[in-house]
Structure 1
Amino acid sequence: MGCYDTLLSPQVASFAFGAHGMLIGGRWQSAQSSKTIDVFDPATGRKFTEVPAGDAADVDLAVRAARRAFADGPWATMPAAERGRLIWQLADRIEELVDEFAQLESLDNGKPVQQAKAVDVPEAVARFRYMAGWAGKINGETVGLSQRGEYHAYTLRRPIGVVGQIIPWNFPLVMAAYKLAPALAAGCTIILKPAEQTPMTALRLGHLMAEVGFPDGVLNIVTGYGETAGAALAAHGDVDKIAFTGSTEVGKAIARAATQNLKQVSLELGGKSPVIVFPDADLDRAIPGAAAAIFFNQGQTCTAGSRLFAHRTVYEKLVEGIHSEIGKMVMGPGLEAGTTLGPLISAEHLDRVNGYIEIGRREGATIVSGTLPRPRGGYFVNPTIIVGAAPDMRVSREEIFGPVLCVTAFDDDELDAIAMKANATEFGLAASLWTRDLSTAHRMAARIDAGTVWINTHNHFDPALAFGGMKQSGWGRESGFHAVELYSSVKAVLAPLN
């Protein structure tokens, strides 16, 4: 336990510091190997609990349980409206426990508890509620055929089956909702593998789903390392689909493993998102917007606006303004009131981010770091601006996944030239444009190679709006009906009428 335990409610402390098992077929159990994983508070670096270290044997048990629930259990015959009702009830319970989930997320991940309460928990609730509405609206269609004769032809949309879902540590609760909600609405059964660093809210969700009445085996949770439990899930021959959010490197490994039985794959991967500020931008919005784009969640966001392209006429004001925004931040443990910038997830990740800052310095860029008071212990790093970062520098090309912003000036280039600079990356997840000119905004939006383009905002999500990447940022679209499509398949039926 850490020195901030007194900031937790008794209910959260009891759950967080208690014994934990994996959920398989409605039972909470230890790993077959009896091995465990230590879980640490990023604000102190201290262990606060442990969870089972599941591996291939546990994944196999979970897949068997999910298959039984899909093929033979009450989930298979449950009316769609009933599925939707259960998903909605789950959303209601999460909302009722907003303080509990926010504290768990802050303890586990390090993020400011007020952020978790204002953003993460409401976003998860919204995901479940939105997808609850889709459960009873998943339909096929009648088809008018092109050939002569009388036929009755139609399609059916059916759940894809047993799905494996692997979620990251940066938004544990939100990413669980992104994955679980559409899969449940479609009628699938699930094996969820949370990140080994942040299993708490996934385990709490497992308890809540049992409480509101989801049948045994619909959700199974295997805690474990990516290279063991995650790899076994991706390669398992009786898993019909794998959904992953995380790094591009791991996403490629999952795609290779999935070829063993040609299971369907959806991937939401890395990013190096451009933020482009034109000379006519409203700087009163663009400065805090660009700062939030990179420093929100300590920069540990796949859509983080890590590359800022500023027109030379506003360049200095932007850099000065963003540096001023850093000065307003309060760095500290996420559970402390007033904290706006928490720790990074781990000592390993802290070394990675600090290593990139040093790489930028060695490559010849200018480092402008914040000077926020840094708490003792924990995995804290000051927000950093790297100015004069050339496009070929590693800090400009590689995903840092921390509060590090690379800033580049541009002159009166044509839109195509600016778009080429923004597109000069292997990633294509998101981008934002800051301008008062609607023509510039929409012409530029069409040219940017990204799954999402925001205009005069950044990191604005909605359950109804498609989200996903281009290029090496992933496959498939989450949110909206696109997410339901990821967890369903279409069957064509044809009958001659003569």
Structure 2
Amino acid sequence: MASMANRVPAAFDRDYQMLIDGEWTGSSTGETLRCVDPFDLHEWAQIPAASAEDVDRAVAAARRAFDQDGWPQRTPQERAALLRKLADRIEAHCDELARMQVHENGKLMSEMFGGARAMVPHARYVAGLAENAMGHSVEALPGFTSYTVKEALGVVAAILPWNTPLGLLSWKLFPALAAGCTIVIKPSEVTSASTLRLAELCQEVGFPRGVVNVVTGHGQPTGAALANHPGVDKIAFTGSTGGGKAMMAASVHRVGRTTLELGGKSPNIVFADADLDDAIHGVMAGIFAATGQSCMAGSRVLVEASIHDAFVERLCAAAAKLKLGDPLAADTDMGPVACRNQYAKVQEYIAIGKAEGATLANPELADALPDTGLFVPPTIFTGVAPRSRLAQEEIFGPVCSVIRFEDEDDAVRIANDISLGLAAAAWTQNVGRAHRMVKRLRAGTVWINAYRVAHYTMPFGGFKESGLGRELGPDALDPYTETKSVWINNGAVRQSFGRKS
């Protein structure tokens, strides 16, 4: 393990600038913020804190690049070629991009490297979508040739969270560019350096000035100024459900388009006939991987009554074997929480669970934490009431709520009795039950005998308050386009209006 003194490479620890209209610039106010490594709490890198004036400049650049400079008029093949060049640059810098994110949010190097590596085929896949995007010829009325075309929507504001900064950015950046949109990116203040480094790669491959812009800073004033800007045609947001509602409110006055990938409180349902070894691994991956800081985290573990006690005992034993430590180390199973605010939030919910009468099944793990860093142990509560705050509210940390159920109908009732619906899973060897659960669970993604599996070829998004629209998959460009209907009179139809003479 690297010593504390040299954990952050010198190349990372520098003054970063924002990308506005093809130029690297600081904030107009001169204000800055610092990155903090959540493992050793070392401050590194200086990031501009953008003002509303900086946001104005970024949106104006994106507006001009879209309206005047011809980016939407570039052929799909030209835009696809630039995306493929970007894929090549990302591939050459995967290790750097991954490690930078580890120093920002404390996730494991293995996960961040895998995510950076996945961006490469993702960009190439989206490039292919750009080259194959097409409208439809429609036989509507005699005497007319009628068809539809897809056109770029306009200026996109991409507002991102800190948990998977570059992976989630790619869900928006790649299709927006492929469709012919221009973009202003606002990363989380926790994870801005990695986004700015990716923006440098965009510059290196030759995206025209104003097409890709990055402004950095806090939600106020930077994020609010971008979300409320009249020059923005679409908001593409990933974050909390509360944040998503604010994005919708911001876009109402201009009828702005929105794509929202929001919070989850996903049920991971274990039936008595499940392969329990597989189910234990799936539950562990669902809630303790990524330190529980995942929108799709399986934070509600529903266990059939007949196996409840034995399952909890095995789950606690498995959690006790997890090694907490340096996220750069290959043998670490769980890293720290990403930032001080999130650490405080998770601790608050642990206190809420205790106050609500839930039982902390593995309290001994709280006494075996690393000496440094924002660590929360893998925390398992039993006796959790299905309508309690612990079971209903997204915590975004390694806190598992185990809920007992009696039968299939009871499991479905508890699973769906919530305002969120991002993901769900069922563990069973009964094929009929598996198919029934797929139909009955109200969630955007349902896994059977698996958890936390995603791929850029499959759509992702939520039901209910877990989101609006879908990202990824074969229709990934659709949220960044408008459909235009075209009618051409072939001369066989004479139109008239009013009384004939």
TM over 0.5: yes
2:496 corresponding residue in structure 1: none
Query: Is residue 2:7 matched to residue 1:4?
Result: no
Equivalences for 1:442-481 in 2 at 5 Å?
Answer: 442-481=435-474
CA deviation vs aligned residue, 1:385-435 (integer Å, no higher than 9, x gap): 000101121101111110000001222x2x333211100111000001111
What do the CA deviations read for 1:152-178 (whole angstroms, capped 9, x no partner)? 101110110110000100001111111
Preserved contact between residue 45 and residue 193 of structure 2 (Cα < 8 Å): no
Deviates more, 1:336-345 or 1:433-442: 336-345
Return the index of the structure with the highest Cα Rg.
2
Code of the aligned partner of 1:127:
H
Kindly state the Cα deviation for residue 279 of structure 1 after the two structures are TM-superposed: 1.3
SS in 1 for 2:409: helix
8 Å CA contact 1:270, 1:427 repeated in 2: yes
Q: How far has the Cα of 1:323 moved from its partner?
A: 1.5
Supply the AA of the counterpart residue of 1:135: A
Paired positions, count: 488
Structure 2 unaligned spans of 5+: 493-501
Do residues 61 (structure 1) and 57 (structure 2) align? yes
- What is the CA-CA distance between 1:101 and the residue it aligns to? 1.3
Deviations 1:77-131 (A, max 9, x none): 32211211211221222122221111101111111112212x3212322321221
* 2:203 corresponds to 1:207: no
| Corresponding residue number in structure 2 for 1:287 | 280
Please give the secondary structure, in 1, of the residue aligned with 2:474.
Answer: helix
Q: Distance in 1 between matches of 2:339 and 2:10?
A: 24
Pick which of 487-496 and 92-101 moved more.
92-101
User: Which one-letter code corresponds to 2:163 in the other structure?
Assistant: N
d(CA) in 2 for partners of 1:246, 1:5: 33
TM-score (normalised: structure 2): 0.95
Q: How does 1:77-88 map to 2 (within 5 A)?
A: 77-88=73-84
Aligned with residue 226 of structure 2, among 233, 247, 254? 233
Q: Which residue of 2 aligns with 1:371?
A: 365
Match of 1:143 among 134, 138, 145: 138
Matches within 5 A, 1:160-175: 160-175=153-168
Q: Contact 2:72 / 2:152 at 8 angstroms: preserved in 1?
A: no
Deviation at 1:220, TM superposition (A): 0.1
8 Å Cα contact 1:235/1:260 also seen in 2: no
**Match for residue 498 of structure 2?**
none
Distance (Å, rounded) in 2 between the aligned partners of 1:87 and 1:313: 53
**Contact map agreement 2:47 2:193 (CA 8 A) in 1:** no
Q: Answer whether contact 1:3 1:44 (CA < 8 A) is retained.
A: no
Residues in 2 aligned to 1:482 and 1:427: alpha-carbon distance in whole angstroms: 24
Query: Residue 55 and residue 434 in structure 1: after superposition, are their counterparts in 2 closer, same or farther (change >3 A)?
Result: same
Q: Distance in 2 between matches of 1:476 and 1:456?
A: 26
8 Å CA contact 1:416–1:447 kept in 2: the answer is no
Relative to the length of structure 1, the TM-score reads 0.95
* TM superposition shift of 1:7: 4.3
In the alignment, residue 430 of structure 2 is paired with which amino acid? D
Q: Which amino acid aligns with 2:6?
A: T
| Structure 2 counterpart of 1:309, from 302, 306, 314 | 302
**2:42 corresponds to:** 46
CA-CA distance at 1:188 after TM superposition: 0.6
2:99 to 103, 111, 115: 103
The question of whether the paired residues in 1 share the 8 Å contact of 2:51 and 2:221 is answered with: yes
Q: Are the equivalent residues in 1 in contact too, given 2:296–2:423 (CA < 8 A)?
A: yes
Partner of 1:353: 346
Equivalent residue, structure 1, for 2:122 = 127
* Whole-angstrom distance in 1 between the partners of 2:97 and 2:63: 30
Does structure 1 retain, via aligned residues, the 8 Å contact 2:293–2:396?
yes
Distance 1:193 1:367, change over 3 A: same
Amino acid at match of 1:214: F
Displacement after TM superposition at 1:459 (Å): 0.8
Contact kept? 1:196, 1:225, Cα under 8 Å = yes
* Structural mapping, 1:212-227, within 5 Å: 212-227=205-220
How far 1:38 moved relative to its partner? Answer: 1.9
Say which of 11, 21, 30 aligns to 1:15. Answer: 11
Contact 2:106 2:335 in 1 (8 A): yes
Equivalent residue, structure 1, for 2:485: 492
Number of the residue aligned with 2:377:
382
Q: Which runs of 4+ in 1 moved over 6 A?
A: none
Q: 2:66 aligns with which of 65, 70, 92?
A: 70
- Comparing 195-204 with 332-341, greater Cα deviation is found at 332-341
**Contact 1:59/1:232 (<8 A) preserved:** yes
User: Which residue in the other structure is 2:394 paired with?
Assistant: 399
Q: CA RMSD in A?
A: 1.5
2:157, 2:226 within 8 Å by CA — same for their partners in 1? yes
Counterpart of 2:432 in structure 1 is 439
1:483 counterpart SS class: coil
Report Cα offsets for 1:159-206 as digits up to 9, x if no partner.
101100001000011111111111111111000000001112111111
- Letter of the structure 2 residue corresponding to residue 37 of structure 1: L
Percent identity, please: 43
Q: Which amino acid aligns with 2:303?
A: A
CA deviation profile, 1:312-365 (whole Å, cap 9, x unmatched): 222223212222221222111222342221110111211111111111111111
Letter in 1 for 2:375: F
On the 8 A contact 1:7/1:335 being kept in 2, the answer is no
Q: Distance in 2 between matches of 1:337 and 1:5?
A: 20
Within 2, Cα distance between the matches of 1:255 and 1:130? 30
CA-to-aligned-CA distance 1:19-58 (integer Å, 9 cap, x gap): 1100001111001111111221111223112200012111
